[in-house]
Chains A and B, each alone.
Chain A
Amino acid sequence: MNEGGLGPTAREITQARLATLGMLVAGIAHELNTPLGALNSNHHVIERALLKLGEILEDEVVTPDELDEVRRVVRATESVLRTNGIAVERMVNLVRNLRNFGRPTTSEPRPVDLHEGIEGTLALLGHELKEIEVVRDFGELPLVVCHPNRINQVFMNLVHNAAQAMHDGGVLTIRTRAEGDHARVRVADTGRGIPRDVIEEIFEPGFTTKGERIGMGLGLAITLQIVHQHGGEISVESEPGRGTTFDVDLPLRPPTGPARKEASE
Chain B
Amino acid sequence: MDEITPDAGTVMVVDDEDMVVDAIQGFLELETDHLVLPFTSPRAALEHLESEPVHAIVADLMMPDLDGVQFLSRARSMRPEATRILLTGYADKENAILAINEAGLYQYLEKPWDNDVLAFAIRNGVERSLLFRELTERMAELEAANDELAGLRQRWIQAFL
Interface-side segment among A78-86, A97-105, A191-199 = A78-86
List B contacts of A49 (CB < 8 A): 30
* B30 near A131: Cβ-Cβ < 8 Å: no
List A contacts of B24 (CB < 8 A): 41
* B22 near A30: Cβ-Cβ < 8 Å: no
8 Å CB interface, B50-71 against A? 62-65
Nearest CB on B from A6, distance (A): 34
Q: Closest B-chain residue to A83, C-beta based? A: B22
C-alpha gap A26/B62 in the complex (Å): 14
Nearest CB on A from B27, distance (A): 5
Known contacts A76-B29, A131-B65; A42 and B91 CB within 8 A of each other:
no
List A contacts of B20 (CB < 8 A): 34, 37-38
Nearest CB on B from A169, distance (A): 8
Known contacts A41-B23, A83-B23; A26 and B115 CB within 8 A of each other:
no
Nearest CB on A from B8, distance (A): 17
C-alpha gap A87/B111 in the complex (Å): 14
* A130 near B112: Cβ-Cβ < 8 Å: no
Is A36 an interface residue, CB under 8 A from the partner? yes
* A45 near B26: Cβ-Cβ < 8 Å: yes
List A contacts of B157 (CB < 8 A): none
List A contacts of B16 (CB < 8 A): 130
Is A136 an interface residue, CB under 8 A from the partner? no
Q: Which of B19, B26, B63, B115 contacts A87 (CB 8 A)?
A: B19
Q: Closest A-chain residue to B22, C-beta based? A: A83
* B31 near A48: Cβ-Cβ < 8 Å: yes
Q: Which of B19, B26, B31, B91 contacts A34 (CB 8 A)?
A: B19
C-alpha gap A38/B32 in the complex (Å): 18
Q: What is the number of residues of chain A that contact chain B, defined by CB distance less than 8 Å?
A: 29
Is A35 an interface residue, CB under 8 A from the partner? yes
Is B160 an interface residue, CB under 8 A from the partner? no
Nearest CB on B from A205, distance (A): 27
Q: Closest A-chain residue to B17, C-beta based? A: A34
List A contacts of B30 (CB < 8 A): 45, 48-49, 73, 76
Is B113 an interface residue, CB under 8 A from the partner? yes
Is A134 an interface residue, CB under 8 A from the partner? no
Q: Which of B29, B64, B90 contacts A130 (CB 8 A)?
A: B64
* B90 near A30: Cβ-Cβ < 8 Å: yes
26 residue pairs from A and B, CB less than 8 Å apart:
A29-B91, A30-B89, A33-B89, A33-B111, A34-B20, A36-B112, A37-B23, A37-B113, A38-B20, A38-B23, A41-B27, A41-B113, A41-B115, A42-B23, A45-B23, A45-B27, A45-B30, A49-B30, A76-B26, A76-B29, A80-B23, A83-B18, A127-B89, A130-B62, A130-B64, A169-B64
List B contacts of A86 (CB < 8 A): 18-19
Q: Closest A-chain residue to B89, C-beta based? A: A33
* A38 near B22: Cβ-Cβ < 8 Å: yes
- 1/0 per residue, CB under 8 A from B, across A121-145: the answer is 0000001001100000000000000
C-alpha gap A38/B91 in the complex (Å): 18
C-alpha gap A30/B24 in the complex (Å): 19
* B22 near A79: Cβ-Cβ < 8 Å: yes
* B112 near A40: Cβ-Cβ < 8 Å: yes
* B22 near A37: Cβ-Cβ < 8 Å: no
List B contacts of A169 (CB < 8 A): 64
List B contacts of A76 (CB < 8 A): 26, 29-30
8 Å CB interface, A66-123 against B? 73, 76, 79-80, 83, 86-87, 90
C-alpha gap A263/B64 in the complex (Å): 41
Is A11 an interface residue, CB under 8 A from the partner? no
List B contacts of A83 (CB < 8 A): 18-19, 22-23, 26
C-alpha gap A42/B24 in the complex (Å): 8
